[in-house]
Amino acid sequence: MKKTIFLLLLGAIVIYSCTNKNTVNENSNPFLAEFKTPHQVPPFDLIDTTHFIPAFKTGIKQEKAEIEAIINNSEEPTLENTIVAFDQVGEILRRTGVFYSLKAANTNPTIQRIARELTPIMSAHYNWIGLNQGLFNRIKNIYDKRESLNLNKEQMRVVEVMYRDFERSGAALPKEKREKLKEINKELSLLSLNFSEHLLNETNNFKLIIDKKEDLIGLPEGVIAAAAEAAKQNNMEGKWVFTLQKPSWIPFLTYSPKRELREKIYKAYYNRGNNNNKNDNKETIAKIVELRDKKAKLLGFSNYAEYVIDNNMAKTPENVFNFLNQVWEPALKVAKAERNEMQKMINAEGRKFKLQSWDWWYYAEKLRKQKYNLDEEELKPYFSLDNVREGIFHVSNKLYGLQFEERTDLPVYHKEVKVYEVKEANGKHLAILYIDSYPRPGKKGGAWCGAMRSGAYENGKKITPVVYIVTNFTRPIGDKPALLSWDETTTFFHEFGHALHNFFADGHYRRTSRDVPRDYVELPSQVMENWAGEKEVLKAYAKHYKTGEIIPDELINKIHESGHFNQGFGTVEYVAASLLDMNWHTTKKTQGIDVANFEKTTMDKIGLINEIIPRYRSTYFAHIFSGSSYSAGYYVYLWAEVLDSDAFNAFKESGDLFNQELAAKFRKYCLSENGMGEGMEQYLKFRGKKPSIDALLKKRGLK
């Protein structure tokens, strides 16, 4: 796990049970000793909610004592007694870090209450570390004389990165400013928690209830069955329930000819957090933006975007704006052409309305069928969840020799979770992987990958990672397996790319082992998506779930031919959200912001057409307001796509999708040795040249 000073512990997922216990026996708390499970995976069968707060408090005491021992060491600061020692502190907190994704994957009121209690405690603790003058002075002592210490490249990097962490967390500020920063950090952590809870409530509170069968016309059989199952779970048997989870609302918008119902569910989706109720996020956003700006200025930056991007490959907000604008202009032109084509279709049908945002999905699907004779429902039978997973394992084996063995003897946090042991080609243990595939009321939307335990070295011994992938894919219905859309299929490949990065990261220091700039971190994930649609790969995994028939060439050709279809829309909605993010974090007026007006003004300024809204509107833009991991950084997916398009071209140009020499180089320089250099420096070692934006534009059909 990275030891980033100002960052809360990287979280993961835990099982929990609700009990009435008010105390917990310290001897029975599984977090207070090394896990006694195979490969030291979390003992989910022993973990109870009552364990968390005592474990966190004990972990804080342990970490403080270890840091104070570093500070009070009478010996001259050295790499070993300061940098390495600090890199290793906090063993208990590393274990209890499994709590932090619980709110995202399996939350309930008890977990939310614990999170509220822990948030100010952990904020204070990380303030204590990040602003600690004694620790900072010892690290600065080493940093200042680093050139004379005969350090190797990895040692030099960890010294420089660790010093930069403290500098960016405010340790170099005078005392008065450090105290202000503490208060800002504390308030921001609580505001982010509020945003997340409001969004989850808004998502779960809406249900489109249909009680007339004629209102289901046009919907695929599987979508109807899933809605009936959702109704049954909500004690509405005989009706159909559609929710704001992607596997529910996207098919409804795509296939339902009932325009008034499409409008209802879409408006519910895009008004989340904007309903002037107890879950409204506008006031929370205004406070977050104001406080982030104050934080950036305290740290010597003009705005929050400048503070964030200074640590990225892009380096400045101006570079990000220039990059996004290069894509925006051609994408908007294509999107307008797409809009006009759909309006012609509406007119030809004799309909008397102007295309709106809730119509786009429906008419885009009709247009795709007309142009390419391709129906998403025709594809799905070839993409069962099990087959797609096996396809991902196949690609990973062909590229890197990895082997995957399902483990049914390891504890899980939910009965639907599957666990795999990952091995090298020679059979050596590499990692444990958990896969959690389906939506639940307590799970946030979307898909993500993380580590319950990151790979590291302790006393020269390699500690292998425990990695998880969480998604919200369409559930199995009856005897029909989970059948994925093409978008869900590529999402699975994407998240597995992140998993590979976790498997392979091999630095000797926790802080730098998997450390890459935010606008590089999506390279490993996005490059994996490229293999998903290659004919050679599709033939290996895309098999009809009933007959076992390999996907026919005709369907593969349709996938490829339609690859550029609707890319104007997809690119515009994404870039609009990226520009909205950048404008929030570069605005000069940060007090008393009218959130709705700010968003409208920003979108009008860039010329966003009315028929498209940003992929994430402000009040549900969790990437940038639920925590800070993608704030002033939502652009990174597109930035990384420039890299991944170029990287995959290396394989295509070689004539071998599984070129072993290239795969070994990509693993070494782009996935394993992150601790050795900056993002572009590592990429150049693999590719030998800088990537061009042209590959991205061509890939999306924008050039």
Q: What is the pLDDT of residues 549-591, one digit of tens each?
A: 999 999 999 999 999 999 999 999 999 999 999 999 999 999 9
* H helices present in 75-206, as ranges: 85-88, 91-96, 102-105, 109-130, 133-144, 153-169, 175-205
Sequence ranges of the domains in the chain: 1-172, 185-204+280-301+315-374+563-630, 206-270, 381-561+636-699
CATH number of 185-204+280-301+315-374+563-630: 1.10.1370.10
State the pLDDT at residue 26.
58
pTM (two decimals): 0.91
Sign of CA dihedral 245, 631, 59, 155: positive
State the pLDDT at residue 348.
97
Fold topology of 381-561+636-699: Neurolysin; domain 3 (1.10.1370)
Could you tell me how many residues make up the chain?
703
State the pLDDT at residue 27.
67
Among 308, 306, 377, 398, which Cα is nearest to 631's?
A: 308
- Strand-pairing partners, residue 434, are 419, 468
Among 414, 462, 458, which Cα is nearest to 106's?
A: 414
Catalytic residues: 495
Q: Is the CB of residue 644 less than 8 Å from the CB of residue 526?
A: yes
Fold topology of 1-172: Neurolysin; domain 3 (1.10.1370)
Which stretch of DSSP H or E encloses residue 263?
helix 259-270
Phi-psi region of 159 (alpha: psi -120 to 50; beta: other; left: phi over 0): alpha
In degrees and rounded to multiples of 5, residue 317 shows phi and psi of: -60, -35
**Cα separation of 636 and 32, whole Å?**
38
E strands in 226-348:
240-242
**Cα separation of 216 and 230, whole Å?**
15
CB-count exposure of residue 169 (10 Å: 0-12, 13-18, 19+): buried
State the pLDDT at residue 376.
86
Q: Is the CB of residue 566 less than 8 Å from the CB of residue 335?
A: no
State the pLDDT at residue 375.
87
Among 320, 318, 368, 360, which Cα is nearest to 339's?
A: 360
User: Angle CA(689)–CA(690)–CA(694) in degrees, nearest 5?
Assistant: 120
Contacts of 227 (CB under 8 A, 6+ apart): 210, 216, 219, 240, 241, 242, 248
State the pLDDT at residue 695.
84
CB-count exposure of residue 288 (10 Å: 0-12, 13-18, 19+): buried
Sign of CA dihedral 660, 666, 672, 676: positive
Among 500, 519, 246, 252, which Cα is nearest to 361's?
A: 252
- Residues in the chain with pLDDT < 50? 1-24
Same CATH fold assignment for domains 185-204+280-301+315-374+563-630 and 381-561+636-699: yes
Residue 430 CB neighbour total at 10 angstroms: 20
